[in-house]
Chain A
Amino acid sequence: GIQVEQSPPDLILQEGANSTLRCNFSDSVNNLQWFHQNPWGQLINLFYIPSGTKQNGRLSATTVATERYSLLYISSSQTTDSGVYFCAVDQSYSGAGSYQLTFGKGTKLSVIP
């Protein structure tokens, strides 16, 4: 099956710093999502971005589908940004089965004041 790799696995930032999280995937995808898992375990949708660039406040994401990677940018980080960031993909167009998401192992972000 498809492999999803995220880097770095852990990241510690001073409040106000910027960061870039990366997601590499091993095959073509129909869908790519970025999630933030907060300390209570809730997965919060950040971006639905199979290709192109999107921005939402201090967060932005870019997916280059032809090169099989996606980047999540966090600017002016805040302590509330702490948590685990997951990238997830599906291959539903390719007849791979269903719409199931395959997740990376996540990047654990800690923002310190």
Chain B
Amino acid sequence: DTEVTQTPKHLVMGMTNKKSLKCEQHMGHRAMYWYKQKAKKPPELMFVYSYEKLSINESVPSRFSPECPNSSLLNLHLHALQPEDSALYLCASSQGGGERTDTQYFGPGTRLTVL
């Protein structure tokens, strides 16, 4: 089973709203990722959690706040977003451990629209 789930599938929010994206995996993976993908572009890495600790923050604005409550869950808290933040937000997970075969599996994504 290589399933990563994400909720919600779609989210529309105003610039003053606070919302959260959720991601879950039950594959025993120890690394989890947030990516942002704009239309016709490849995914861009935002954050990496390894063994529940934030290991990479790709200089993402503070209006995006990640959280890893446990090894199966990953949240992305959103506050005061801008219209240009509208995109497909992808969660991924991998076994972790730095092995060269560390394959990332993606969830279905959350389509975010900021009005």
A and B interact: no
Interface residues of A (CB under 8 A from B): none
